[in-house]
């Protein structure tokens, strides 16, 4: 059980009577599509054979991502863990290499590079140009998780060009790009020093099958394949993902569904969490909305006491959108990330709880 749930499930005196049982929790703490690709029955024969590379998955992935050099991995998390390892073990970077990460972002990126003894520099989009000549790796999530910040293709291409001048690498996590493929960097610049991660866990709602893809030059993919070992993606997973990537009608319909659901969520958050508190900022993607506010912690606690679990971000936000609105950003100015409810009952549950949030909020 999530630590936040444990905290409030144990202290039942602090819970609303309607949320004493953990089955009543509305978990909105992830950015995963709650109404993902409809999984069909998998043929029994798929379970009876070892995974095979010529099963059509690569061809489906090449068509979907519009790229050639691609490797299936057991979730983009596997690539996040392995990339620092291969860069270290195969001397792809100089000693004392510096890794710049546009922050805040998914914390596993920083953790894995730190675990492999790389120096980390926290950057914003606006500070990259000031230090890019000193970077050996620039890592970013586009669109970013949790801020939803989108970095223009031309900006990314300029960074890639500058990095290539001193053999630096650009790593882009595009786990939340599926709804806006036109903003992807894929197919728009050479792959010489570029590594792109993609996921089927978010847009397709298939987080449990553990499958993602890495797009990079061939030697990088060969090293990743070597380190992850044989049969890293199971046969049933390969079968499902091939079908999902090829389902063009569902993909088109899902884009519309997520756009509408995202707008509905943002409307609710503005309606109930911006009362008497103009100093907030709502951002995100179609799969989640993040609200940055001074009162994030007390709001998180009130939501939890009513049985709604959201993601309380660990760090305050120093992105351009927030710093432009506030003269100072302190440690209490944090974000709450809301995922999408799955059905009308959950939408109504969320609205009832949001209505109950105590007002006014502390101001900055």
pLDDT by residue for the chain (364 residues), tens digit each? 344 434 433 333 333 444 445 568 999 999 999 999 999 999 999 999 999 999 999 999 999 999 999 999 999 999 999 999 999 999 999 999 999 999 999 999 999 999 999 999 999 999 999 999 999 999 999 999 999 999 999 999 999 999 999 999 999 999 999 999 999 999 999 999 999 999 999 999 999 999 999 999 999 999 999 999 999 999 999 999 999 999 999 999 999 999 999 999 999 999 999 865 556 789 999 999 999 887 889 999 999 999 999 999 875 555 554 444 443 444 456 899 999 999 999 999 999 999 999 865 544 3
Token pair in block for residue 89: 């073990």
CATH of domain 44-246: 3.40.640.10
What does each C-alpha distance from 158 to 33, 161, 165 come to in angstroms? 32, 5, 11
| Bridge partners (DSSP) listed for residue 347 | none
Residue 266 φ/ψ, nearest 5 degrees: -65, -40
121: helix, coil or strand?
strand
pLDDT of residue 23: 60
pLDDT of residue 124: 95
> What 8-state DSSP symbol labels residue 8?
H
pLDDT of residue 243: 98
Contact 290, 336 (CB under 8 A): yes
Class (C level, CATH) for 3-30+250-356: alpha beta
Helices (H) and strands (E) in the chain, counts: 13, 13
Residue 2 φ/ψ, nearest 5 degrees: -55, 145
Domain boundaries, the chain: 3-30+250-356, 44-246
Token pair in block for residue 326: 């506030």
- For 358, counting Cβ atoms within 10 Å of its Cβ (0-12 exposed, 13-18 middle, 19+ buried), the class is exposed
């Amino acid at each position: 059980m999530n630590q936040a749930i444990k905290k409030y499930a144990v202290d039942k005196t602090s819970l609303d009577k309607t949320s004493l049982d953990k089955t009543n929790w509305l978990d909105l703490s992830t950015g995963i599509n709650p109404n993902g690709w409809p999984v069909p029955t998998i043929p029994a024969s798929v379970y009876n054979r070892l995974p095979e590379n010529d099963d059509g998955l690569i061809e489906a992935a090449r068509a979907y991502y519009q790229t050639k050099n691609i490797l299936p991995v057991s979730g983009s998390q596997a690539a996040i863990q392995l990339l620092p390892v291969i860069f270290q073990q195969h001397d792809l970077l100089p000693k004392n290499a510096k890794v710049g990460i546009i922050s805040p972002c998914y914390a596993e990126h920083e953790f894995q590079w730190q675990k492999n003894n790389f120096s980390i520099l926290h950057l914003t989009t606006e500070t990259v140009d000031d230090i890019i000549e000193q970077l050996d790796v620039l890592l970013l999530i586009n669109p970013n998780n949790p801020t939803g910040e989108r970095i223009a293709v031309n900006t990314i291409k300029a960074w890639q060009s500058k990095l290539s001048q001193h053999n630096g690498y650009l790593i882009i996590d595009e786990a939340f790009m599926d709804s806006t493929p036109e903003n992807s960097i894929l197919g728009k610049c050479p792959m010489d020093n570029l590594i792109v991660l993609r996921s089927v866990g978010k847009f397709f709602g298939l987080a449990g099958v553990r499958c993602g893809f890495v797009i990079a030059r061939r030697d990088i993919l060969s090293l990743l394949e070597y380190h992850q070992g044989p049969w890293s993606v199971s046969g049933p997973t390969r079968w499902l993902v091939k079908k999902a990537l090829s389902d063009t009608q569902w993909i088109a319909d899902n884009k519309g569904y997520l756009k509408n659901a995202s707008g509905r969520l943002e409307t609710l958050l503005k309606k109930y969490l911006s009362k008497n508190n103009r100093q907030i900022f709502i951002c995100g993607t179609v799969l989640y909305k993040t609200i940055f506010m001074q009162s994030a912690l007390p709001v998180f606690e009130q939501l939890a006491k009513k049985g709604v679990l959201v993601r309380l971000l660990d760090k305050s936000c120093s992105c351009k959108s927030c710093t432009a609105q506030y003269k100072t950003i302190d440690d209490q100015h944090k974000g709450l990330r809301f995922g999408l409810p799955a059905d009308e009952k959950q939408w109504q549950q969320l609205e009832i709880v949001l209505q109950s949030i105590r007002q006014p909020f502390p101001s900055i």
